Amino acid sequence: MHLLVSCPPNISVSEMIKYIKGRSSKKLQEEYKELRKKYWGQHLWSPGYFCRSVGNVTKEIIEEYIENQTEEEDDIFKIVE
């Protein structure tokens, strides 16, 4: 999953990631009841993440990179046991 986000300087990267993972996990488990059964009391997302600042690369280059990521054959969300 690739995200390009901007946040105020008073919010740490780890806080932002924690919020994104928490909210997305809740939303996914509300929409896909099978996930709730499988991950009840567990974590849906792995604890790690990778963060990179824009630095010498422009925002437009990063947006283009994200847009050009290949999609899997079936872009519909599926639960694999």
- Residue 24 falls inside a structural domain: yes
Amino acid type, 46: S
- Residue 75 falls inside a structural domain: no
Catalytic residue annotation: 65
- Residue 69 falls inside a structural domain: no
Q: Give long-range contacts, CB 8 A cutoff, 24+ apart: 21-28.
A: 21/45, 21/49
- Residue 80 falls inside a structural domain: no
CB environment 8-33: b (16+ within 10 A), e (fewer): eeeeeeeebbeeebeeebeebbeeee
Q: What pLDDT score was predicted for residue 1?
A: 73
Amino acid type, 57: V
- 77 band by pLDDT with thresholds 50, 70 and 90: low
How many domains does the chain divide into? 1
- Residue 14 falls inside a structural domain: no
Domain enclosing residue 29, as ranges: 20-53
Upper half-sphere CA count for residue 2 (Cβ side, 13 Å): 11
pLDDT tens-digit profile of 17-68?
889 888 888 888 888 888 877 776 677 788 888 887 777 888 888 888 888 8
